[in-house]
Structure 1
Amino acid sequence: MGKPHVVAIPYPAQGHVIPLMELSQCLVKHGFKVTFVNTEYNHRRVMNALAEQDYFGDQISLVSIPDGMEHWEDRNELVKLTKAIFEVMPGKLEDLIDRINASEDEKITCIIADETMGWALEVAEKMKIRRVAFWPASAALLTSLFSIQKLIDDGIIDSNGTPLKNQMIQLASAMPAMNSANLIWTCVGDLTTQKIIVDVSIKNNNAVKVADWILCNSAHDFEPGAFTLAPKILPIGPLLAGSREGDSVGHFWPEDSNCLKWLDQQPLKSVIYPIPRISIGLEISCRPFLWAVRPDITSDTNAYPEGFQERVATRGQMVEWAPQQKVLSHPSIACFLSHCGWNSTMEGVANGVPFLCWPYFADQFLNESYITDVWKVGLTFNRNESGIIMREEIKNKVEQVLSDENITARAAEFKEKAMKSVREGGYSSKNFNNFIAWMKA
């Protein structure tokens, strides 16, 4: 009998591709073969970013199918991308599975699909293949998507997802409170985009009912309220916290590892690792910093203020795309100034790094609530009456987070929770081992 053969299909965005690749690498360690299916557009980006083209050998096969858009069209146009995916990708996935099953000894035994790609689970059901939904973000976010119909029935949002009034809502007592204005579908742009996210989420809620498992890149101790509210969601993370000794892969841009040599020269816990848009605050903080600004941002001539790079040359290191897991585990890192995407949140928490939070999109506001209100491992910035975060506010919060021993202690405590969850006998480890046993049965 050949190896169990899994098809893994992420949603076509960076924050979805990386964690599913992490899971795929874990499966390979347990004797699985994985065919990893990106869209053609993202497949090219991943292959261009891989330092070694044969990185995976024959363990993970990187393949692609069309997303239904022309190569020159903007994948940030969510409405157009979503419609194209639904029209084109189900048929292309079926064709791919038929080709694999016709030509290989190791036939497809399971499809692991991003929960937002619920149509792939329906393809698996139609083809009588085992079905697993993978959720790369917080369980709290998934429970909020599962609760859309209830939120409509309770008069909190209308059928388009628009909040009927501005209020704080809490799905369960042990979960973070959410501002109705910051629900994920209200934070992504115009009303048309909001409506399609709500509609697709309701479709996915139905599609996921055919899944044998719903796996989540989180830890039970991080959000027990969410896992109690939705017990079918099983945490197996943080996947990065001990999943492998190698590099994180699946990135859309090549990583610049030279910054690790620069970190080696900095004092213990002295360096701020930030996201964009905070240049002036960094400058007046007088602290050393490592700043990763994505290539699609640095191509903009306004990425840095005039003369900024020269003024901070002795204590600032700017790179396009950093090996973030290695950076956050480096002993020189003192805090992480983050937009609070879930991958970054898991990487920071699993490495015991205090946060400064600057959310602006999608689930980042919910993740900020976990970081600042529930886990208490970081601080957020206050905005002035015009909604602007001033440079002095950045400087003051940097000093505050670096000097707060309670935050440092809580960060160390949550690092241990992360490690404990993935160790043998830990909550995530048990779930993962049960899943592996089911896959091999």
Structure 2
Amino acid sequence: MFSTVLVANRGEIAVRVIRACRELGVRTVAVYSTADRDSSVVRLADEAVHIGPPQAKGSYLSVPAIVESALRTGAQAIHPGYGFLSEDPDFAEVCEAHGIAFIGPSPRVMQQLGDKAAARALMAEAGLPVLPGSTGAVASAAEAKEIARRTGYPVILKAVAGGGGRGMAVVREPGGLVHAFERTRAHARAVFGDERLYLERFVEDARHIEVQVIGDGQGTTIHLGERDCSVQRRHQKIVEEAPAPNLPVAVRDALCAAAVRGAEAVGYVGAGTFEFVLAPSMDFHLMEINCRLQVEHPVTEMITGVDIVREQLLIAAGQRLSLRQEDVVRRGVAVECRVNAEDPERDFSPAPGRLTEFVTPGGPFVRVDTHAYPGFLVGPHYDSLLAKTVVWAPDREQALARMDRALGEFRVGGEGVRTTVGFLRRTLARPEFRSATHTTGLIGA
């Protein structure tokens, strides 16, 4: 096992990784921007290194600053968390070149799967079902129109380098395609530095189901079951649950088998997620593959008892997976709600400010992953996630009752600060969600 791990991230996920390291007896190094000088991450880590200004480009996205910090502090490995550099093959390659273990898949695999258009083709070769659409990046609006004509409307345009729900546009009729193509391409260029788009058929009334996989690179690849992530705003998840409700056993088994087959096809090492779109007919198609830890990994941990971050660390250190597929037993139901510093009444716009009050819920089978505290400044520079509230119960009805109780215990105050707590409670009370007949259109409906 490593003696020292640098955590190249911030917020709740950095806290999560530090805690897993501590339980393994591993020393941790945090990196922080000026804005995060007083963060929980800095307080928890054994050592902390200032790497730049609040703007992520000069700090959490600065490969030289992070690698230099690792070398200077004697870190043998870097855990990237999610977001920022977590799916950057160039970063993983630089780590490798400096003799630092990157806790994630190899640069080669990230390169293959990070290009979402190329990943579609690769997974189709492996026998996974993919949606009709372009076989690679679309060169022009005229080409997009021709592919959409063959595919049939509605279609969705996606940034090849996209993620986090950004860089997407649904087009329902031919007249809107050219404008959507140019707008989405400009957005992708500005946000990801890569303007390439691909196109695929958009499935109406769909559910978003994903499968957690882990491979150790030594012959063992397993899945930890599926999660339903259909409750989204602007293509970004805000409620996740495991297992997916109202999912026939045969479909569940087929989804999980497809994910493992895809992971094995590329020699996937570490934790990853295969995301699928599920039609009302129960036909499913691969959307994309995330080569990192997911925000919603706690719901899988809660129903399996598997510490996914611990497994990531052990695998990166050269150890085998601590369990095989037959060892994975799922019990009960877990639900996660993302409490964001956003104003739902203003189209979920960020609502930053200094927290004067921050009291999280507790009680049996309630887990809160957070980096916030009274006095913490919710700034404008980063993601608005304040806390992930996760509950477990023997069945879905009890889990939803427990989640409503937990959300009701949240106390968050501060000038200008608004949260999604009330919105989440109203969403979970909606008849479509309670009956598990909801789709990705729930919030827009």
Looking at both structures, which has the greater relative contact order when contacts are Cα pairs under 8 Å and sequence separation is at least 6?
1
**TM-score between the two structures when normalised by the length of structure 2:** 0.39
**TM-score between the two structures when normalised by the length of structure 1:** 0.39
More strand by share: 2
